[in-house]
Amino acid sequence: MPVAVIPQSEIIADYNNKRIKELAQGKTCTELEQQLAHIEGRENVRNVVLDMCDPFKNFAIKFFPIRNQPHQGAIPPSMA
């Protein structure tokens, strides 16, 4: 029986309004950036929920610059 290969997919959601905003395929920072570059207001993102693997952490730090936070866009030491 053939095995289906399902590509890695990432969901960008608006948790306040309970809506899926984007669906991107890939796991590397470059793949995700290319598919999500059109998103406006990334600087207004206040929380990021993600798998703690390094590619996702690096993507979140680079892509969603969290401002007015003590860690200024980096993951707080308690989460590193």
pLDDT in tens, 61-74: 888 876 545 454 45
Cα–Cα dist 61/72, whole Å = 9
pLDDT at 27 over 70: yes
pLDDT in tens, 36-50: 888 888 888 877 877
Higher-pLDDT residue of 48 and 1 is 48
- Residue 70 tokens read as 């003590």
> In the chain, what are the domain boundaries?
9-63
pLDDT at position 75 is 53
Q: Are 60 and 71 in contact (CB under 8 A)?
A: no
3-state secondary structure of 44: helix
pLDDT in tens, 48-58: 877 778 888 88
Cα–Cα dist 41/52, whole Å = 23
